[in-house]
Amino acid sequence: MAFMRKQYEAAFKAKVALEAVKGEKTIAQIATEFEVHPNQIRQWRRHLLDVLPEVFSNRGPSRRKRGMRLKPNSTGRLASSRWSWNGLKKNLNRSCPEEAARG
C-alpha cells in the first residue's frame, strides 16, 4: 500500500507560520497544537519571512498588474485569477473561525 503525504491548505500553512513568527509559543508547542512536525513549521516560517519583504517591494509590476495574471484553463482559453489580501483573510476566517474572532 502506498504512503500518502499530508497536504495542507495555504491558509493553514499561513496560520501556523504566523503563529511561529509571533514567538508567543515554542515551535514544539505549535507542533503539538496543530499536529505538524516541528521541521515543517520551521520551513513554513522561513518561507514566510523570505517572501514577506516582496509584498512591500516597490520593484516589479504595479499592484494592479501584479494581481491579475492570465493563464490557460482546462479549455485552453485564458482566464484571469486575482489574488488579494481580502480573499486570503476570507479563506483564513473560513478555515480558522477562532482566529477571526481573535483579531
pLDDT tens-digit profile of 28-45? 999 999 999 999 999 999
Residue 78: its pLDDT value, please? 47
Whether 48 is in a domain gets the answer: yes
Domain tally, the chain: 1
Whether 25 is in a domain gets the answer: yes
Whether 77 is in a domain gets the answer: yes
Q: Cα(62)–Cα(13) distance, rounded to whole angstroms?
A: 27
Q: Cα(92)–Cα(6) distance, rounded to whole angstroms?
A: 19
pTM of the complete model:
0.55
Whether 16 is in a domain gets the answer: yes
Give the pLDDT mean for 88-97. 62
Span 58-89, pLDDT tens digits:
775 555 555 555 555 555 554 444 445 555 55
